[in-house]
């Protein structure tokens, strides 16, 4: 587990504590590892300075590339759904701001995160270096194809909504591994599903809540046009 990476003022730290108590634990997230990670990661480091007054409101915020930094509760809810015990090898699809990868890195032993927009990947890598995260690997590419070079993964999380679960991601799960992804027939809303690999060919699928994410673009997601 990483050491504390807070970079904000005492005011930010206090606001972060209130957010975790009110909007994360207060809404039902119970995993102590997840709550501790949310307390340690300074969300203000991942948003434009002009938005920092709202950084600990429980809401998504815009970042560059037409993307968003996810609502803190949703980040915590999805990380909890991965059922991490600590030290796992995790793949994240959709780096975005880098905030969720940092939360994952507070629990996991190794995080590989894939971003299709080069500018976002480069910016996230810079932030991780500034904050001292040495076990996050940032890659630029089509996240719907995963990253086979470092597979299998104990857990995979997708931070964009796809029309179905990409087969490539299922095949990169370790036996017993969990994949959490928003899936929907349209791009306006999705169901968050957890896929657990039971054997080489068998996967258990469960729905765990309604969500709304930006579309998952790529070869095994939504087309770019």
Question: Six-digit token pair at 207?
Answer: 């729905």
The 3-state DSSP class for residue 206 equals strand
Sheet with 136-140, edge to edge strand ranges? 136-140, 110-115, 89-93, 153-158, 173-183, 190-197, 203-211
Q: Which of 50, 70, 119, 189 is catalytic?
A: 70
Contact 108, 87 (CB under 8 A): yes
Query: Could you confirm whether 70 is annotated as catalytic?
Result: yes
Q: Is 59 exposed, middle or buried (0-12, 13-18, 19+ CB in 10 A)?
A: middle
Q: Write out the catalytic residue numbers.
A: 70
């Amino acid at each position: 587990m990483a050491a504390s990476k807070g970079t904000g003022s005492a005011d930010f730290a206090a606001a972060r504590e209130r957010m975790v108590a009110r909007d994360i634990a207060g809404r039902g997230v119970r995993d102590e590892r997840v709550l501790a990670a949310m307390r340690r990661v300074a969300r203000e480091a991942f948003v434009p300075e002009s938005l920092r007054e709202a950084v600990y409101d429980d809401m998504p915020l815009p970042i560059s590339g037409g993307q968003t930094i996810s609502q803190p509760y949703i980040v915590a809810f999805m990380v909890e759904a991965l059922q991490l015990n600590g030290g796992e090898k995790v793949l994240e699809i959709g780096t975005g701001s880098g905030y969720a990868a940092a939360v994952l890195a507070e629990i996991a032993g190794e995080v590989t995160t894939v971003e299709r927009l080069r500018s976002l990947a480069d910016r996230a890598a810079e932030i991780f270096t500034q904050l001292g995260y040495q076990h996050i690997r940032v890659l630029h590419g089509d996240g719907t194809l995963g990253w086979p070079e470092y597979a299998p993964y104990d857990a995979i999380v997708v931070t964009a909504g796809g029309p179905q679960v990409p087969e490539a991601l299922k095949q990169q799960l370790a036996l017993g591994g969990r994949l959490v992804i928003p899936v929907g027939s349209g791009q306006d809303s999705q169901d968050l599903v957890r896929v657990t690999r039971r054997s080489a060919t068998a996967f258990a699928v469960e729905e765990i809540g309604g969500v709304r994410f930006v579309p998952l673009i790529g070869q095994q997601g939504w087309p770019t046009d």
